Amino acid sequence: MTTRTWFITGASRGIGLELARAALAAGQRVAATARRGATVAQALGDHEALLPLDLDVTDREQIAAAVATAHERFGGIDVLVNNAGYGQLGLFEETTEAEVRAQFDTNVFGLFEVTRAVLPSMRARRRGHVINVSSIGGIVGAASGSVYCASKFAVEGFSASLADEVRELGIQVTVVGPGFIRTDFLDPRSVRFAQAGIADYAALSARLRDYYGERNHRQAGDPARLAEAILTLAAAAQPPQRFCAGSDAVAMLEARLAQLREELDDWRDLSLSVDGEWEDAAR
């Protein structure tokens, strides 16, 4: 595997930590960031090829400083992995405006700003790979995921569009959509549940919290195996624009594709009827 420099956000635990560990084991150089970079160093130990950095992705000054430090240490960034994020779960009407904005500030605008900081050097060198960690929730919505899924749908749309914008500059973009991965994503210190209770939703809210609680640390997806898969994607000559990660994600995506195909076929005539005759005024 060609030695590259990786810049990974949200690397103190979960997918980001496992990816940093796997990259180091594969002989890669890694700038691993977290709100407290010291937690990365504690988790991974002392590596000459590791650069732990403080980075809150909602802080533009920290983003600029972290990217600059990575460039100074390693001479550039070859692979950017936008992994930092969290889940804001809960029914939409029970979620406050502040909770919605905080979710998008991290999952969407934070990702945007880190990408904006890294792209100029990739453009200058005419090479690079941006890997955005989304979720199966970026394609398939679900009750209690209205805000979280909306943020991941945004990441999906951004990634697909960015891929078309930078392809001719030698930069590749891949969005990774995991299903349920066995991390602490559903731990109280990670996930955030809507706090504004509404009586009409009480029973559904309780069922959904129980559902997630029962699956905490019992998810099928293995974060170490996902990390190895991401290494494989980064090494591919022609990586996919979107990668579905995990058997549950594959099943949900297949069901969503079937639903879209069925609805497209059922309503095709009405869809086509929207076109009308028109005369080109320039002729």
pLDDT tens for each residue of 228-282: 999 999 999 999 999 999 999 999 999 999 999 999 999 999 999 999 887 765 6
How do residues 19-37 score in pLDDT, each as one tens digit? 999 999 999 999 999 999 9
Given 134, 146, 159, 205, which residue is catalytic?
134
DSSP assignment of 170-229 equals TEEEEEEEE-SBSSSTTSTTT-EE-----GGGHHHHHHHHHHHHHHTT--SB-HHHHHHH
Structure tokens at 236: 């591919």
Given 144, 148, 159, 205, which residue is catalytic?
148
Tally the residues of the chain: 283
pLDDT (0 to 100) of residue 188: 59
- Give the chain's domains with CATH numbers: 5-269 (3.40.50.720)
pLDDT (0 to 100) of residue 189: 58
Query: Is the predicted pLDDT of residue 190 greater than 60, yes or no?
Result: no
Helix (H) or strand (E) holding 80: strand 79-82
Which residues lie across from 29 on neighbouring strands? 5
Reported confidence tier of residue 187, pLDDT bands at 50, 70, 90 = very low
Structure tokens at 124: 């200058």
Query: Is the predicted pLDDT of residue 214 greater than 80, yes or no?
Result: no
Query: Is the predicted pLDDT of residue 59 greater than 90, yes or no?
Result: yes
Query: Is the predicted pLDDT of residue 216 greater than 70, yes or no?
Result: no
Are 138 and 159 a contacting pair, CB within 8 Å?
A: no
- Non-local (6+) Cβ contacts of 138 within 8 A are 149, 152, 153, 155, 156, 175, 177
Say whether 161 is catalytic.
no
Residues of the chain above pLDDT 70, percent:
90
Q: Mean pLDDT throughout 97-119?
A: 97
Structure tokens at 161: 């569009």
Say whether 148 is catalytic.
yes
- H-helix segments, the chain: 14-25, 37-44, 60-74, 97-104, 111-125, 146-166, 202-215, 223-235, 247-266, 268-272
C-alpha to C-alpha distance for 164 and 117, rounded to whole angstroms: 19
Q: Mean pLDDT throughout 111-137?
A: 97
Query: Is the predicted pLDDT of residue 192 greater than 70, yes or no?
Result: no
pTM, two decimal places: 0.90
Are 252 and 141 a contacting pair, CB within 8 Å?
A: no
Query: Is the predicted pLDDT of residue 283 greater than 60, yes or no?
Result: no
Say whether 134 is catalytic.
yes
Q: Average pLDDT of the chain? A: 90
- Non-local (6+) Cβ contacts of 238 within 8 A are none
pLDDT (0 to 100) of residue 42: 92
Given 12, 135, 151, 152, which residue is catalytic?
152
